[in-house]
Chain A
Amino acid sequence: MAIVEVRKLRKYFDAGGVHAVDGVDVATEEGEYLVLLGPSGCGKTTLLRTIAGLEVPTEGEVLIGGHVVNGLPPRARRIAMVFQSYALYPHKSVLANIVFPLKAERIGKAERERKAGWAADLLGIGHLFDRKPRQLSGGERQRVALARALVREPSVFLLDEPLSNLDAKLRASARDELKSFQQRIGTTTIYVTHDQVEAMGLGDRIAVMYEGRVRQIGKPVEVYDDPADTFVATFLGSPPMNLVPRDGRLIGFRPEHLLPEEIVSGDDRITLPFHVHRLEHLSGDRHLYGVVKGLGEETRIIARLPATVSVPITPDQTYTFAVHGYHLRFFDAKSGERTDPVRVGG
């Protein structure tokens, strides 16, 4: 177990033409589950590969357990990585795949098989030992890849979208397994994903990346409730945060916080006329698409009514909705950064 830290890390490709990682400072905590979240192409994989030693950083340092490891090859870093494709050795049996890292460490045969048995028990794949990777399902392959990562008792786990090849149902159960498994062994884990549901569910903390930079790092609730800028605000949450322009600022609020006025009580509520254009039913909730006036400029927004709210709504009507003042977030319209709250009257 160890702390992974990167300092002022930059990685450029094509002679500086592509800034895949553009100045990242992140440190994990001991035994933490840190999720790197961001849209496709934002540099998550590159950051992970640089930590693993598969890419040489253009600038900056990588530290594992307090030591700078920039000059060390991947095998000397005591990390285990699960690739998006799992990268199992297709010509080896499941057992040979799992013991491969132990063989590389010149551990004796009996000890190897004991450890492989332990990892297989943990992941429930003992009965698959004699199969070849191509005879396994996606979920089984993932568990073999995890077992191979696990047997070495690495100081750090690096996982690159290990669930993205699985179907929705399997992904949910695999996510659950992964989380409880990590809690049991308590190894520091860095997990890459572009799926916010995975990130919110798995992470002790989430680092949101965009264009090679970390925009915000914090607990899932913090990142969701207090986004540092408009990118984080609109990347997280589905539907994303509504942003209403007003006097050089953007006023943001989550779709689930805009509710019919009869439900919202309290002194600091702000009532708004909401003209509903369209209505969708999604897993019990109602998503209302329409236009609000009064908060700032007239803006198209989305409101999400939970299944427990039964106020009848029909399209092409105007209703009075309300939002609590403490649910409003303020951003600078130009830079997108958070700013101090301003008074917005009723």
Chain B
Amino acid sequence: MTVNPFVLVDDLAKTYGATAVFENLYFTIGKGEFVCLIGHSGCGKTTILNALAGLEEASDGVILVGGREISGPSLDRAVIFQSHALMPWMSVLDNVAFAVRSRWPDWDKAKRRAHALKFIELVGLGNAADKKPAQLSGGMKQRVGIARALSIEPKMLLMDEPFSALDALTRGTLQDEVLRICHQTAQTVFMITHDVDEAILLADKIILMTNGPGAVIAEIVVNTMPRDRNRADLHRHPHYYRIRNHLIEFLVDRSKQFDRSTFDPRKPKFTTPGLDTTTEEKQP
């Protein structure tokens, strides 16, 4: 735990009328850390991400980024939307250049294009720069969304189930690329997913949320696997199944019946299931 975390979420809550979607959320994200949020549908994950992005206001609590309270959206926090959210009337290049221009309004057109192209090539779409989004596959569109987010060189990336609409094969390659790019650039990332394997591959920390209404953070799983992991031999590492079983067991059983009696929301419990050798005996 860093003393001065990059992102600090303090006592965040969202209520509609009398019902709280989630409450008492407290967590931190360190600089360069990759954090995944897992929870069942409707527990308020998107709302949390939108609050971090500044697109939506929480009902209670504060979010500090870099020590300052956020007040609305910022170019420092780029969002990768679940539905890619590309402008269909613009080419791939124009979509990215649109973002580049927002960040650096003084740049001339040539400089904007060159900068945008660099990031389009980074996600492997150099040949498709002049295509319209409608001419691209789902995976390619999501890559453009990633290129657009990275192109403004944000301090942090926010991703809302970015790969959930993709087929397994495309999802795999994109996960590998995101992992590579984020480690190369030491990006700080907050990502929502409901794919346990995706979380284990990408995240340094995995935040587990209980079911709503009144959802809270049940625990934060620390990923103890080496950081230079990749998808191909992830499952060979001994920590992998321990973490995976722990997460699945949480999603299946404990997310519903979470015991709040011994629970202090301000000190979410950190667990390291990867180091726990006692679970092995339970396996068949």
Q: Do A and B come from one complex?
A: no
Interface positions of B (Cβ within 8 A of A): none
Interface positions of A (Cβ within 8 A of B): none
